Chains A and B, each alone.
Chain A
Amino acid sequence: MLLNPWALSAVALVAVPAYYLGHRSSRFASSTQDFLVARRTVRSRRNAAAISGEFISAASFLGVAGIVLKDGADGLWYPVGFTAGYLALMMFVAAPMRRSGAYTLPDFLEARLGSVVLRRFATTFMVFIGILYLVPQLQGAGLAVSSVLPVPIWVGEVALTVLVVINVVGGGMRSITVVQAFQYWVKLFAIAVPAFVLSAVFLSGGQPGPAGPLGSPASPMFARETTVVVPSNLDLKVAALTPVWVQGPGQQARHLEAWPSGMTAHIARGTRLTFPAGTATPVVSDAQAANSDWLRPGSGGLTDMLRTYSLIVALFFGAMGLPHVLVRYYTNPDGKAARRTTLHVLLLLSLFYLFPEVLGAMSRMYLPQLLVDGRTDAAALWLPSAVMPGVGGQVLGAVVMAGAFAAFISTGSGLLVGVAGLVSTDVFKGRVSHFRVAAGIVAVVGFAVALTLRPIDLSTSVGFAFALAASTFSPLLVLGVWWRGLTWPGALAGMIIGGCLVLAALAVNVVHSHLGGPTYWYSVQPALVTVPVAFLVTILVSLATKAGRPADVNSIMLRLHAPDPLGFMRDRMVNRFGRAAARVAGRGRHRK
């Protein structure tokens, strides 16, 4: 599927209304409060759609299909984990956080514990988390664009950076709420319609896909002669005797090689591999080779099980610590509405995730070449044309592409608003122009990191961002809301130790990916170790430093937990920035 004109027009069809909506509301977004909190006038159901829309990122949209294609049943934990993380948010954090009146997580920590040092560290870690989550969005955009146009990856990354910056700088949060709500439905439509249509086509065909049935003990095979150009240095696991024409990166002619079963082939970047029809697919080293292994969860033994548990911990505890999630809660009027909104979000997310799972499973039968070049995240984009060659497949592929871009833009914008808001209120002094400058800086830094880091699976890198959020913020949030004994030295110690452990694991991972060598499960997903450690450290240090308890802890707990009708909520943004000019004439109706 090269140069699909439908795809480009579909992207435009999605982007234009989004920008129009954004622009219309941005004309009214000129005070700081407008920018940052959409002036608390957003209705609960639309807020839920906006939260879901923003949460469904590249990882949810493309990454789930990709990880299911690569890992099989083990990849199904990602959607479950994403949704369970929202449940954890609702039960442990949502209502008390809203009642605290704090705008951002560092703000909440300062309100709860009274320490400015803690707030600074929290801001720093939050910026890390935001950038770590932004990078997969950029890389996903690069991948998507280079699937449609014959351009290198950085073109897509540049395009997304520019689009997101324009979107955010134009209107901040206010413009984004309406846009995000619209984009949830776009994404749902863009994933559900192709899933339905392709399933119908597949089921009516009555036969397993060309690459072989899903339950067979063999790996998928190429139905036709297939040429794959390897985009980066890879190791391929060879499952069966494989004849292949190899043309090296600089060479003119190709030569025939026969790879014996069990061999690991090291392929240099730019090599062209041509597989005759009927050959078994060698797969990248971290994928499942045999279909029967792919079908079964945990076929990698103990390490697989530990990695799965680690992933569950990261996703369950990490959602509450993400910058673009909690910020949107401040658009709710009170604690009860915050809980209700989260319930709606659970429903909307549950509706969504079945479809990329189906697409991923089907890709195993139709797109074996993605297992060779490692770009499994492009599965959802390529599948329609592979199942339905011709115009129908192209149109469906364009629909998926539009949804993917909706995901990139919406999550990217949400992240940028969250992180730029933090930077501008905590590092600069919080005027509107500072917000725009901060947004620009964060976008450029994110783009630079995306360029330098080697692309890994979208799901894996997002899992890392969750692990960092879970190890730094979740102990503070859970303990801060429910335990009077939390002290600021305890919080600081827990956050620093948890964060540094995760960053160390990331460093080990990056080094391994460049040097080669075995990857340990805890360098891919360290949360099983780091989250309990962070909790433990926080608790122990808090118990040891009782003097660090805030003096007014009783009234703080009152404010967090007293039911809303008693009226103990406060708005810290009003205290800090003063009231916005009374332009809100409507009674809670969302103004344009």
Chain B
Amino acid sequence: MSAEDHHLHGDGIREPDQMLGHGSHVPAPVESIPPAPPSEPEPPPAKPPKRHRVVLADPRSRSRPTLRARVELEEQTSWGEALIKDLVKRQARTAFLLGLLVLLLLGSLPLAFYLSPDFAATRVIGVPLAWLLLGVLPFPLLLVVGLTYNQLAEDHEHDFVEMIDN
């Protein structure tokens, strides 16, 4: 469980993942900008002011797309909004389709029993089929659907983060 633990803080807020965007790149060095000189009449300069080279961002830096993506998401630019809408649609489709599958499979049973009493009464290993279909088999079905959903949802999220990361 330690993999979960390192995100925990006492207040329960999950901070952005430290590993986001940290591939193998080195953060760009940034030189400091000297403070603005006071706006009084200056004494005539003895020599030209020292020139500083300022680098705002390293073009090779890989953190730029990540932070920009997160900022775009947060500020709800149209690109950010489209991203999230896409993710929501994909997750919704998974959830609703799997839910529909479960409801259809389980929901067909009362109708089947009503229409065909013999079907319900057939015995399999001495136990009526209806009791197996209602009392034993639904549980593995629900578990399998649950596992599938969990895997798919985590995959969608992982893909999304990967996409953001690049």
Is B truly associated with A? Answer: yes
Q: Interface code A570-592, partner B: CB below 8 Å = 1, 0 otherwise?
A: 11011000011010100111000
Is A336's beta carbon under 8 Å from chain B?
Answer: yes
Is A588 a contact of B4 with CB atoms below 8 Å?
A: yes
Q: Does B124 belong to the interface (CB within 8 Å)?
A: no
Q: Measured between alpha carbons, how far is A314 from B71 in the docked complex, in Å?
A: 42
Contact of A76 among B8, B80, B134, B164 (CB under 8 A): B134
Q: Which chain B residues lie closer than 8 Å to A339 at the CB level?
A: 150, 153-154
Which segment, of B27-35, B46-54, B113-121, faces chain A?
Answer: B113-121
B67 to chain A, nearest CB (A): 11
Chain A residue at smallest Cβ distance from B120: A296
Contact of A309 among B87, B107, B161 (CB under 8 A): B107
Size class of the contact patch on chain A: 35 or more
Q: Which of B1, B73, B142 contacts A588, CB < 8 Å?
A: B1
**Could you say which residues of chain B place their CB within 8 Å of the CB of A435?**
none
Instruction: Report yes or no: B110 in contact with A40, Cβ–Cβ below 8 A.
Output: no
Q: Is A316 in contact with B150, judged by CB distance below 8 angstroms? A: no
A95 at interface, CB cutoff 8 A: yes
The yes or no answer to B43 lying at the interface (CB within 8 A) is no
**Which residues of B in the span 119-135 have a Cβ within 8 Å of any Cβ on A?**
120-121, 128, 130-131, 134-135
CB-contacts of A295-319 with B (<8 A): 295-299, 301-302, 304-305, 308-309, 312, 316
Determine which of B6, B19, B134 lies in contact with A77 in the assembled complex, contact meaning CB atoms within 8 Å: B134
**B65 CB-CB contact with A under 8 Å:** no
**Alpha-carbon gap, A84 to B120, bound state (A):** 22
Q: Are A554 and B81 in contact (CB under 8 A)?
A: yes
In the complex, the answer to whether B161 meets A87 with C-beta atoms within 8 Å is no
Closest 10 CB pairs of A and B: A567-B16, A588-B5, A565-B17, A563-B157, A350-B139, A76-B134, A588-B8, A40-B12, A91-B95, A584-B10
Chain A interface (Cβ < 8 Å from any Cβ of B)? 37, 39-41, 43-45, 73, 76-77, 79-80, 83-84, 87-88, 90-92, 95, 101, 215, 295-299, 301-302, 304-305, 308-309, 312, 316, 333-334, 336-337, 339-340, 342-343, 346-347, 350, 353-354, 357, 361, 482, 554-555, 557-558, 561-571, 573-574, 579-580, 582, 584, 587-589
Interface residues of B (CB under 8 A from A): 1, 4-8, 10-17, 19-20, 70, 73-74, 76, 80-81, 84-85, 87-88, 91-92, 95, 98-99, 102-103, 106-107, 109-111, 113-114, 117, 120-121, 128, 130-131, 134-136, 138-140, 142-143, 145-147, 149-150, 153-154, 157-158, 160-161, 164
